[in-house]
Chains A and B, each alone.
Chain A
Amino acid sequence: MPGYLPIVLILLVLPRHLPAGPAAEEKRLSVYAAAADYSLAVSERNGRDYVGLLELLEPLGPVSARSDGLHWRLRFKALEMEFIQAKSQAKVGRQEIDLGAPFVLENGRGLVPLTSLNPLLPHFVAGPLNFNEAARRLFLGNVGTHFTAQLSHGTPPRLVMNFTAPVNPTIATEPGRLRMVFHREPVVAPSTPTLTFNDTAIPSATFAESNGLAEITVTSSVSLMASFGNDGRTITISAVPQQTMAAQPKREAEQIPAATLPPSGTGPALPPAPGSTAVPATPAGQRGYFAVVDASHGGEDRGVALTGQLAEKDVTLAMARRLHLELEARGVPSLVLRDSDANLTLDQRATLANATHAALYIGLHAASDGSGVRLYTAMLPAGGDNNGPFVAWDAAQSRFVPLSVAAASGVASELERKQIPVRVLTAPLRPLNNITAAALAVELAPPPGSAPSQLNSPVYQQLIAATLANGVAAMRDKLGAPR
């Protein structure tokens, strides 16, 4: 055997065991149907994209499959199908269908090429079918969410995007652009992928779709913030208020540890526009809200019927506005998450609150039973452990529980000082467990010996709001500056 042969063999084998470069993004197929919106993993076989047919059909109706040697039989509703391993022809009912590539049977799992979905699916699904194979987005029926974008040339200019159904995109900013990624929503392309606005601050927005996702990128020459309204059907994009932006560089330049900042060291952020829920989508380190005030419920979700006419959602909104003003008056920049009669999902509330990187989240509730104020911190669910850098959504609060308890304790002390009955408890109350900051919920009950209608009393609301604000202001150093 030549002496160099072992070296050649090692050189041939070694690359297979060396760590590969960055892992390629997993290919996904998004399916949008009236029954469900879902996403499936796409596998590659012989350079072609494949998807599990059983997994694809399962959310759409009763389906079963069985394999028999090289044959794979599938029944969807009353329709029988037969596929054969490595064959490009399949039998659907009494018809022969060309799959365009061989069928793959692996461990009893039937994989069909993505190219076969166009000829296959009309046999299963009634109504229009639209499959964008390049972007791997499949629309079954008239389920697309359309949008319009309109720029109002004011100061600052505002880009208002109206969607035909509620949306909840992931929002991220980079210098010169704001990206909204729609993971689950069947957002469809406008007539032209690039919309231009003839404005220097917000010149254009571009729609793109790939790997089962839709993305709208808004280009800009200024830092932008996104506001949600109309039950998640409207996203308003505008420049971050200059006052907030001006306060930040000073803090960064000074490099003062957050916890040592004096209470008046930060300029107050401007309140969000009425009728909207707002979150600055600025990069980390460029927001200045210390507290996020979240008025629970809203829209069709009225919350507790406190009296015949008085709903919890109205009391929480009034309280949120009062608390916001009281916090601002004490130099504590705050953001009202719901500043209109709109409803947000709990996930939306948590996402928006986390995106502000505020130091404290305050959820507001109201109840007709008991008296005074009840303060709640998260009762974390079982099984939501965080592993290393990966944070479980349902237990995102776990790292911040000591801070939340400290915040609740500080606020309770202030309420006690004002002789307002107060209890501090844990509660299985979302979105507390999803918040990545100190988080507490405040449940406002009537004054001692009073009727629930007193929850609407401006005097009582003002007393509680001022006392809560005092408690938060006193805890400010302990909770630290916004992260």
Chain B
Amino acid sequence: MIPRHLLIGIALMLAAALAMSAYVWRMRGRVAAVEPTADTRPLAPPVSGPMESVTLYVADDETGSLRVQGASIPLPSDRQQRAEELLRALLGIYLDKASPHALPPASEVRAIYLVDPGLAVIDLNAVFADAHRSGVLEEELTVTSLIQTLAANIPGILRVKILVDGKERASLAGHADLSNFYDVAAVNGFVAQAQAAP
């Protein structure tokens, strides 16, 4: 026969195990409730680095051109990081509610690689291209805005290649060619044309 004190001990241990299970179950539910859904906003720029004045070339659908816009943003000293922060600042304008050239929510520049001599590779995320509005001018304004902003603020960039999700793509959204390298001088020519045209 099992001693009485042993039975009481086993009963207490079972009760403790059940109570702990209930507690863990409840905590799990609470964590799930608190955990935010996937944040679709782009990453905020790092606060490290002094504030610097930069020139952004912002696409404007109304005029069909790029307008020059000054901005003051914190920029790290590393050339590559500076390039990434620049484009993140530019994307911040496009993702704003009052954007003059709306880009799909969650559009991001994944990375920028600066390869000497004079080559910059911009890697966009898939959403950027997949959900981009289609049209010759709409796509061209986006592409040239990225390239011109980079070239205007990072000296020495002569050619730019744009990738999507790390891979080459035929076009941004059916029109603007992404299979070739962009010549910064040619983009410069377009910017001047677009600003001059009525």
Contact = CB atoms under 8 A, between A and B. Distances in A.
B193 interface: yes
Interface in B140-198: 140, 143, 158-159, 170-171, 174-177, 179-184, 186-187, 189-190, 193-194, 197-198
A324 interface: no
Nearest to A379: B186
Interface in A193-246: none
Contacts of B137: 367, 369-370, 374, 425, 427, 443
B154 to A, nearest CB: 16
B135 A368 contact: yes
B84 interface: no
Contact of B190 (A297, A301, A374, A379): A379
Contact of A304 (B135, B170, B171, B187): B135
Contacts of A394: 180
Interface stretch (A18-26, A81-89, A281-289, A381-389): A381-389
Nearest to B162: A428
Nearest to A374: B137
Contact of A428 (B133, B135, B140, B197): B140
Chain A contact patch, size range:
20 to 34
A365 interface: yes
Contact of B136 (A367, A384, A424): A367
Contacts, number: 98
A374 B187 CA distance: 17
B64 interface: yes
Nearest to A384: B180
A305 to B, nearest CB: 8
Nearest to A395: B180
A297 B140 contact: no
Residue of B61, B143, B183, B198 with most chain A CB atoms under a 10 A cut-off: B183
A180 B183 CA distance: 36
Contacts of A426: 186, 189-190, 193
B85 interface: no
The 10 closest A-B pairs by CB, nearest first: A381-B180, A382-B183, A382-B159, A367-B135, A382-B181, A428-B177, A304-B134, A423-B197, A443-B136, A430-B177
Interface of B: 61, 64, 133-138, 140, 143, 158-159, 170-171, 174-177, 179-184, 186-187, 189-190, 193-194, 197-198
